[in-house]
Amino acid sequence: MKLKKDLSNKYRKKNQPRITIHCILMGLLFSMTFQVCAQNFGEQGHPMNKSTDSREILKYWGTTPDGEINLYESAYKILSADKNASYADLIKNSSFKDLLIQQNRGILAGPMLGQIKSNCASVWLRTLEPAKVEVWIEKTGEGKIYGPVFTDGKTELSAVVKIDDLKPSTSYPYKIIVNGITLSPSVEQIIKTLPEDNQYEEVKIAFGSCPHRWGLGNHTLLEQIQKRGNQAMLFLGDIAVQDRNDHLGMHRADYLLRDFLPAWQNFAAQTPVYASWDDHDYFDNDKAGIPDGYSEKGRNGVREVFKHSWVNNSYGDETGQEGIFTRDRIGPFDIIMTDNRFFRTGKKGSFLGPQQMNWLKEQLLDCEGPFIVLSCGSMWSDYVSNGKDSWGVNDPEGREELFSFIEENNISGVLLISGDRHGARGFTIPRKSNFGFYEFEAASLGARVGPPANDPSWDTQLYGIDGEFAFGEFTYLPSKKDPAVVFRLVSEDGHSIFEKKIRKSELTP
């Protein structure tokens, strides 16, 4: 494969006016509320930044009903008041309970789809109190009920209901049933199964990181992911929680913010999601392992809240209750999502930890799909910020061990995806002979400003943007001889910022 720089000054000049116009419009829209509007999201002067109160984020997009805002503000007060406050504490509060009655609300959060296959899927939700949960699926004019699953305090009042016996490439409306009562959907609820396994059909998945709470309320961005026909979405960290350390009440309040955002509600009820964490939804900026001043109990608590707020099929070592790494299969893509936070000690080889590294090698050898999407919350390469908080500073030996393992075992089709460094950048990582890895970073789901998007010295850079909403996208192109993937970096308006087609033969050591 030919490894070369693929970034042009022409793109940077063409893209700058669109960023400027976007920020002028945002400034005009919110000038009555905020006197200063920074050029880009995530800057300190912009109303949406890492210090913004979650209650303000809920109001920002202007689509949340007043009743929902009042309910969230009530929940926020309860959850923020005590670092160990739980969702079960909400229903004990009379004011919160009165608001629930006024809204006739049947669940606290959800539904959210995940674990999509050609014949099955899973539905996540969170109840108001311990309850029996079922899911009704419409099948050829008739209905079938799946479950029950029971929620309680140990599951953070969450339930994951598995749906099977579905047909490939078929849409199924579904409804939630709680304690025997069928709830009226507030958004469209549809499961769309994947094409039949081993069939030669196109499959498309999206990915990205760093929405930093407010990005999950961006209707334009999330609707664009849906409109383009993406059949699943991978979130690589810094998603819904912002720097809460071991304050579990605030972790829960931030996840509840996610679930109260109308854009997210519509998206998650129709698009299967997969999630891993990075530093901000783990503890705080650049933190890993058990940070100084914190305990194993706090770390385990953060893991439990994360585990019951998503719909992955697994979360790390379930026996030892460690980490959140996971593997799944989405059509032609084997998905492996690593955890670069939980196991770090600062010592050599601890970036993933020996246990996770051994697991990762076993998974790579076991993959059978044409392509392997291998994610890391932070970057694989060392260009941006000199590898700050990623492999280059923490564990270059571990990275070399992994890359050499892939080469020595002739594991083909590996696509590296990453996040953490705000903005979006792509690189080739040259290896021996003409082989090399591709790294696609799309830490742009929140349009946050970060380190420089590009640099003339980065001689294997493919693309670079900053301060703009965008997501990554893989499109699988079937072929009996040499299947291919098309990567696109897509802006919120649907414009393809960068595009590259890669054949499997190019990814074969």
Please give the average pLDDT of every successive group of 10 residues along the chain, which has 509 residues: 44 41 45 45 88 96 96 98 98 96 94 98 98 94 94 98 97 98 96 89 97 98 98 98 98 98 98 98 97 97 98 96 97 97 90 97 96 97 91 93 96 97 96 88 96 94 96 96 97 97 95
451 contacts: CB under 8 Å, gap ≥ 6: 384, 385, 421, 422, 423
Alpha-carbon Rg for the chain, nearest whole angstrom, is 22
Prediction pTM value: 0.92
Q: So where are the chain's domains?
A: 110-191, 202-507
Measured CA to CA, the distance from residue 233 to residue 311 in angstroms comes to 12
Give the pLDDT confidence score for residue 40 in this predicted structure.
Answer: 83
Residues 463 and 497 sit within 8 Å (Cβ to Cβ): yes
Superfamily of domain covering 110-191: Purple acid phosphatase-like, N-terminal (2.60.40.380)
Place of tokens 């160990």: 84
**What DSSP line would sit under 367-418, residue for residue?**
--SSEEEEE-SS-SSS-GGGGTTSHHHH-HHHHHHHHHHHHHTT---EEEEE
- What is 202-507's CATH number, 3.60.21.70, 3.30.70.2860, 3.90.79.10, 3.40.50.300? 3.60.21.70
Strands (E), 201-291: 203-208, 233-235, 273-275
Give the pLDDT confidence score for residue 376 in this predicted structure.
Answer: 98
Measured CA to CA, the distance from residue 106 to residue 127 in angstroms comes to 8
**CA dihedral in degrees (471, 458, 375, 488; nearest 10)?**
30
Longest dimension (CA), the chain: 68
Residues 405 and 397 sit within 8 Å (Cβ to Cβ): no
Is the backbone of residue 345 left (phi > 0), alpha (psi -120 to 50) or beta?
alpha
Strands (E), 54-117: 109-114
Place of tokens 């693929």: 6
In 3D, which of 502, 475, 460 has the Cα closest to residue 7? Answer: 460
Measured CA to CA, the distance from residue 406 to residue 399 in angstroms comes to 11
In 3D, which of 224, 219, 231 has the Cα closest to residue 271? Answer: 231
Show the CA angle centred on residue 447, arms to residues 445 and 448, nearest 5°. 110
pLDDT in tens, 357-381: 999 999 999 999 999 999 999 999 9
Residues 357 and 402 sit within 8 Å (Cβ to Cβ): yes
Give the pLDDT confidence score for residue 9 in this predicted structure.
Answer: 38
> What tokens were used for 431?
């290896």
